[in-house]
Structure 1
Amino acid sequence: MDALIYTIMSGAERALKAQQVHANNLANLETAGFRADLELATSSQVQGYGYDARHMSQLQADTLTLREGVVRETGRELDVAIGGKGLLAVQYGEGEAYTRAGGLDIDAEGALSVNGRPVMGDGGPIVLPEYTRLSIAQDGTVSVLTPGQTEMQVIDRLKLVSAEAGGLTKNVAGLLVPRNGGELPADETVRVRGGYLEGSNVSAVEEMVATMSLNRDFEIQMRLYKSADSMAETGNRLVRE
């Protein structure tokens, strides 16, 4: 009977933790560039002599989906929507991390950033000179019109990379990083749309349906727990008699 208890209790714990994953997705429904997290349950055998028939459910919540979110026009010159499976490189510690968030900002020193993190270009973090006009081309080239000039001047190019969802995970800051560590090479085929911004790729309907399904799973686990307790009590009574 204890073999069933392992499955029931680990399954109930998995349902509760999976609800947290979907709750976090829903909380970021309006977060620009947010990539929805996925949850996957796997079975694992309990280690130790005599435990061969005992299995537990384990939650894996380090995967995500890179499907595109809704793109809307903003008209803001510092907004870019990244196409396909492309990602924008930003500085993270001594290395890089990646994001789909395209709402760029510029500080008093002219440094480009996303949510406070420096945006990477061909030669490192991008810093712009004083300008009166700015444009970002489809290939990520950043050009500005400086005071007193009549022609746009190329300053740098956004570092754009591409990757498959299975090769990425999220770090503690919520940024995308390769599972094997290191940095991704620039991909010149990635294109961006200036003046547009991509929203979250979270589907509210899918998240709500998944949450309701998990609620039913948890209720079933609790019924099984009561049944297991009843069967154990019946077995103990038969032994006593």
Structure 2
Amino acid sequence: VVADTCVAMDEWVQNPTAHTALDDIIPCVDNATAQETLLRTKDVTYQLANVVNVVITNVSNVNVPPVAGRLFINQSGPSVPTLCNPYNADLTNRQCASGEVDFMNATQVWKNYTCQVSSTGICTTPGRLTPSFYNQMVNAVNVSYGLYHYGPFLVGLQDCSFVRQTFTSINNNHCAALRRYSQWIYIGLLLVSVAVMLSLIFWVIYARERRHRVYTKQFLAGNPEGRDKAP
């Protein structure tokens, strides 16, 4: 069974598009579909980070007058650092600029810029983010981080590249040992079977010999002449 499993995994890794024993239990999509999924994931991540930065730049970090209506929250104090967008507009990878916060520490850093608010949602203490704004930004960061961090992994599951790497690792690192251990187990079971068979043979021989001796004693006991002749 172990050998068959290893052979099946190796065949599937070498010929993922061919009809193999694992086709029915490992559904995979083509590479083009997987790459399109990854592209859409990057696009959503970019758009979310961009929206957060627009709010920070045009609302939180601007001292708007009270006549601005809903945009006025009586914000004050140091400017809120913008979020590091991991992608450029063309969805290529982008390096964080100085002063930006990344997905890992954005929520902790931004919390220092929140203010206490009145019943109308206006800041009553220094700060540029109301709890409502802060919570919305945290939600956007969490979604962006999830897509950015787990998107490639999920795409790897979709096109089975992750499964292919796993099977390759198992085949290279464990199958040889599993085959060797399986052979040892087979040899051990064979030796046990031979020992049991020999034990049964010896027991049959012993039982027949014992029965023969009992029969001989009974025969001699019932035949005095034979007993006298017996040495």
State the TM-score, normalized to the length of structure 2.
Answer: 0.26
Larger radius of gyration: 2
The answer to which structure has the higher helix fraction is 2
The answer to which structure has the higher strand fraction is 1
State the TM-score, normalized to the length of structure 1.
Answer: 0.25
Higher RCO structure, 1 or 2 (CA under 8 Å, sep 6+): 1
